[in-house]
Chain A
Amino acid sequence: MLKPIKKTENLPKKLTIKKVVNENYKTKTFFFNESIDINPGQFIMLWLPEIDEKPFTLSYKNPAALTAELKGNFTKELFKLKQGDNLFYRGPFGNGFTASEKKAVVIAGGMGLAGVSLLIESLKNPKIIFGVKQKKDLFFRERFKMDICTDDGGIGYKGFATEKLKQLLKHEKYDIIYACGPEIMMKTAFELAEKHKTKCQASLERFMFCGIGVCGSCACGNKLVCRDGPVFSSDDLREMKDFGKYAKLKSGKKASLQEYHSWRS
């Protein structure tokens, strides 16, 4: 009998928006009409025809949803979409987190919380530290029990999430630290993990063209964030010289993280 050959095709597939939820003044969750089989920490490439295509993690799986912050041209277009509108995705891509540890702490900064939402749901009672600039930047407060940190102390702990983590680790031993958020936060979390001889997994962000491990745009050291990552564990983070220091601009120019972030925002 003739059998179908194994295909690798990964072209954009249609998604229809079922519901849009306002999380805060600049953050929306877009629920879709179907579930997407994705592991925590993996990402999809979200395509808005004639605009652009960008990597996003999913914040819910069934039905699938993504949570985004209004930031640049792409999210400006995304935020115009309403219930019943279509958009497109490829993926999932990347490796994802390994969620097998017993006692875990998850540290998230800003939109990084959306990136670890599926992870949190797959862990057993993890400690969650969530840092934002101000109270108005918070989201998912009903969804997760979290230790909240704000830069201005408007609510919760006054100071960086990594300061809170530092205090926590002084008193308690954890098996693993999961980090997702600004790279400087992840770098500090990793250094704290090293100091306390605790394992760490961090989800990195770089500008991506292909998302599938060929173009080299998302290189961090000799690793590709799209395919070797986006989640890297301590052994990799230790070797990645660009982690916490450099990222490539769209042209491929290697820039300081500061320059990279001012271009991205």
Chain B
Amino acid sequence: MLDLSTSIAGVKLKNPTILSSGILGTSPELIKRAFENNAGAATIKSIGPEPREGNNNPSVVDFGHGLLNAVGLPSPGYKNMDMEFNELSKIKDVVIWSIYGNIIEDFMKITKHILKYNPKMIELNISCPNKENGMLFSQDSDCAADVTKAVKNAAGDVVIIPKLSPNVADIAEIAYACEKAGADAINAINTVQGMVINIDAKKPVLHYKKGGISGPAIRPVAVRCVYDIYENINIPIIGTGGIMNGRDAIEMIQAGASAVGIGSAVYYHGIGVFQKIVDEIRKWMRENRYGSIKELIGIAHA
């Protein structure tokens, strides 16, 4: 039979779809709902070092070709989330714990705290464009390597996945620096910086003014980034950015992704999007006589 499973640094996923961070993942109940709808893995909303309210609204808008958001990393702060962490730790499916910080010490504190809950995977959100210094660690190879190395040393066997920003000159170089620093996998990409202005209000629509573009508009950007990264590193890639259907997912896998992040598609297609994409992947593989996801990873490379 068709094998839709994939693996990220030794962690097996029943299918390659992963709920991306920042979409729905604010509570264990919503994470469970993603799994009930057949997500292969689910990433929680990034945990921050301190309580933080995020930006004012408008914070997420549909501009016609994707979403533009500047929610601004609201978080209860890791010290106020033990009830949620406890629930998350009981989930048998693959939960990816996303964390962010302002300095390396923040990442370390959060990592040490959540290790008690035995996370299988930790994603380092070093690429959020919607807060001051949110992208700091993913815009420079040395910074990305330093935070990766520090967290990896603290986390031991836990799979560490830096999530990278496309708002850089050479994303593949940064991915390579992360690999050398001990990253177990790479997630690419976070949102692309953008702005929409309302000409009647004569103001940017987002309260934060600038934001991050996701959804269909950025898919070719994401595919190119994943393609470049794949040529530069040997660790697995989670390909994220604009995947709406099974064909988009297969495209990303052919570019080099071992699994795919699904975010804005939840807006367009609802929570049933995971099952839809899985069904569409299966159909394409059957028609094109592929037996497993693994046969497809990176085959667009010469």
Contacts and interface: CB of A to CB of B under 8 A. Distances in A.
A86 interface: yes
A154 interface: no
Interface stretch (A4-12, A23-31, A99-107, A120-128): A4-12
Interface stretch (A47-55, A129-137, A183-191): A47-55
Interface string A83-103: 000101010000000000000
Interface string B17-47: 0000011111101101100000000000100
Interface in B261-301: 263-264, 266-268, 270
B71 interface: yes
Given A210-B71, A252-B26, A252-B75, A11 B198 contact: yes
The dominant DSSP class at the A interface is loop
Nearest to B24: A216
A215 B26 contact: yes
Contacts of A216: 23-27, 30, 45
Interface string A53-89: 1100000000000000000000000000000001010
Which range contains the number of A residues in contact with the other chain?
Answer: 35 or more
B59 A215 contact: yes
Nearest to B215: A8
A251 B45 contact: no
Q: Identify which of B25, B64, B84, B268 gathers the most chain A CB atoms within 10 Å of its CB.
A: B64
A14 B199 CA distance: 10
B62 A14 contact: no
Interface residues of B, number: 47
Contact of A222 (B33, B51, B69): B33
Q: Which 7 A-B pairs have the closest CB atoms?
A: A9-B64, A216-B26, A53-B57, A210-B60, A253-B76, A222-B29, A250-B53
Interface of B: 22-27, 29-30, 32-33, 45, 51-54, 56-64, 67, 69, 71, 74-77, 80, 83-84, 196, 198, 200-201, 203, 205, 207, 263-264, 266-268, 270
18 contacts: A9-B64, A11-B61, A11-B64, A47-B58, A53-B59, A54-B57, A210-B60, A210-B69, A213-B270, A214-B266, A216-B45, A217-B26, A219-B27, A222-B29, A224-B30, A250-B54, A251-B54, A251-B74
